[in-house]
Chain A
Amino acid sequence: MSAIDDRFRELRDAGKKAFIPFVTAGDPSLQATAAVLETLARAGAAIAEVGIPYSDPIADGPVIQASYTRALDSGFRLQQLWPMIAGVQSRLGAMPLVSMVSYSIIQRLGSDQFLQQALEAGFSGAIVPDLLLEEGNQLREKCRQRDFSLIHLVTPTTPRERMLQIAQASTGFLYFVSVTGITGERDGLSAELLKQVEWLREQTDVPICVGFGISRPEHVRQLRDVADGVIVGSAIVRRLAESATPEEGVAKVGQLAGELIAALE
């Protein structure tokens, strides 16, 4: 059991849904990332995803890719991320952190080393968007031994039988990708998506959270009855990028989080 499992149990007991924001580590700076995480925790985010910048992120849309590039250009290093996370933990209350990390980074560091450093810093799990079920056996086992959640993804192109296999392998929660494509903001969610989530909801106990393209209160309202949580990434990253100062960005993100959380109620 990781802190993520605990969190979902509490939410379910209280009849609540999870708001899961995503922020890029180090964009515009690690201090700003810490401030955003604090604000999100205060606003009532259930869990936060921290994106570890990667040079060649193929699953991410232009907004998050650009934020990764900015963070790397301004000198982001993994060895600076861990102390920032460790330092901000005490100010996050009960909000667990999940890293969003490319398998390239885990492979390079070595999975044991990665897990040890991530756990020591205070991460409760990881989403590895380029790690398929078939390639994940070894890492999954290592995560299980350490009570570290390994969150897998399903997409609208995933056949149903495979969805069930992935749901069974996923710990913490299951990430349901709302669209065929990359991350980024969208106008509306399809009825087909809602049906798919609803179907899967009946097949598995693992919490299902929907992400990719979720940016508005109306998206959240559409999802709150079928999913256990919503994940919001690009909309947050964009607000930070478009702000003149980190303080302004943090304030805007806090406001957006408030609106989206209200829509979940």
Chain B
Amino acid sequence: MTHQSASSAQPLSALPDARGRFGPYGGRFVPETLMRALVELEREYSAARSDPQFQRELDGLLSSFVGRPSPIYYARRLSEIAGGAQIWFKREDLNHTGAHKINNTLGQALLTLRMGKTRVIAETGAGQHGVATATACAHFGLPCVVYMGAEDVRRQRPNVFSMKLLGAEVRPVHSGSKTLRDAVNEALRDWMASVETTHYIIGSAIGPHPFPMMVRDFQSVIGKEARQQSLELWGRLPDVVVACVGGGSNAAGMFYPFIDDDEVRLVGVEAGGLSPRPGEHASPLTHGQPGVLHGSFSYVMQDEDGQTSPVHSVSAGLDYPGVGPEHAYWRDVGRVEYTECPDDKALSAFDLVAKTEGILPALESSHAIAKAMELAATLPKEKVVMVCLSGRGDKDAAEIARLRGEEY
């Protein structure tokens, strides 16, 4: 018995529907100016998806340029400390540019060329998507502008410089909360004015249809590989799969290939921040309610007037008041469990993984690792908990030093 969408007999993997809806979530809530571009994108993506030439080109790049497949790795010492099930990492941190983001940007950059567009824009939070977009654009010779909240520019300096080295222009965004949410606003505004020549490479599984579906599909290489690697290694699937959820792209890509495998427990981990009090976390699936933000209907942190509420996370990549619409639906139908991990536990997990495994995990991924350890502790040794280690943590070193009051 597989999980099915509430309204039909289709498996969850068949979503979204033709209107870009995952149950009630998703859709398109954008100005009319963008409609033509979204229709064009949907058409081109649909054609590319079933074009073997496009897939071959993308697969070739993922192999020779990104270094895929990324391995799965048994975190032996971490598992011993957790005491219980085996913890395995899906090593997206080993990808070129150090995170899962490149899987999506290469796919969308190829689409940009296919659509005959000559310029790329992107938003970035932690900077990983910005670097991955700048990288794809450098590879294909496309000019690239990356919008980044001024607060994120401050806490993710190394990535800002990398983007510049790769030839991209980084535009700091000083409006609103000066974080990822404001960077998305600015990128959308740019796109409104430049839509005829420009493609907007959204970095997460958010935004108007077809973005959530497309980003999920490009990221699904993570889960497809993990599934295959599990079957090859153990002849069975992992018992639990864990991923962090900001906008939700690594989680969507990790979970989607397992979504119809009911025996696999899927756990998404949001940023619990300082506390569950309003403004002190970034966990819309845990504490928010359905609403419209950045072009789609999903869970969001907003006040009773519909104004987006401030959010907080120690990790820039999770510091976002919304979440992808497919996660909203997976939450409501109960297929994926969503939970949160506070800043301090994520920071402890970062430390522990660094010292016991010799890996600096991204602070985003550290949220998932902390939760995976808790889950592993409740399970016997023969069980497997697989975590999407979505990125490397070098980018966070300076911010961690600052938080500890140490020299960097």
Contact = CB atoms under 8 A, between A and B. Distances in A.
Interface in A117-166: 129-135, 152-155, 157-159, 162, 166
B31 A54 contact: no
Interface residues of B, number: 34
B291 A59 contact: no
Contacts of B32: 132-133, 152-155, 157-158, 166, 177
B291 A107 contact: yes
Interface in A18-59: 54-59
Contacts, number: 111
Given A77-B305, A108-B305, A180-B195, A159 B36 contact: yes
B55 interface: no
B145 to A, nearest CB: 15
A105 B306 CA distance: 4
Given A108-B291, A182-B192, A58 B31 contact: yes
B348 interface: no
A157 B185 contact: no
Interface in B305-319: 305-308
B293 A56 contact: yes
Given A108-B304, A108-B305, A130-B31, A58 B188 contact: yes
Interface in A40-83: 54-59, 61, 65-66, 69, 72, 77-78
B49 interface: no
A188 interface: no
- Interface size bracket, A side: 35 or more
B31 A153 contact: yes
A13 to B, nearest CB: 30
B328 to A, nearest CB: 14
Nearest to B322: A56
A89 interface: no
Interface of B: 19, 27-33, 35-37, 175-176, 181, 185, 188-189, 192-196, 291-295, 297, 302, 304-308
Listed from nearest, the 6 A-B pairs whose CB atoms lie closest are A108-B306, A181-B193, A105-B306, A104-B292, A59-B31, A58-B188
22 contacts: A55-B176, A56-B176, A56-B185, A58-B295, A59-B33, A65-B175, A72-B307, A104-B306, A104-B308, A107-B306, A108-B305, A108-B306, A109-B306, A132-B30, A132-B32, A135-B28, A135-B29, A155-B31, A157-B36, A159-B36, A180-B193, A181-B33
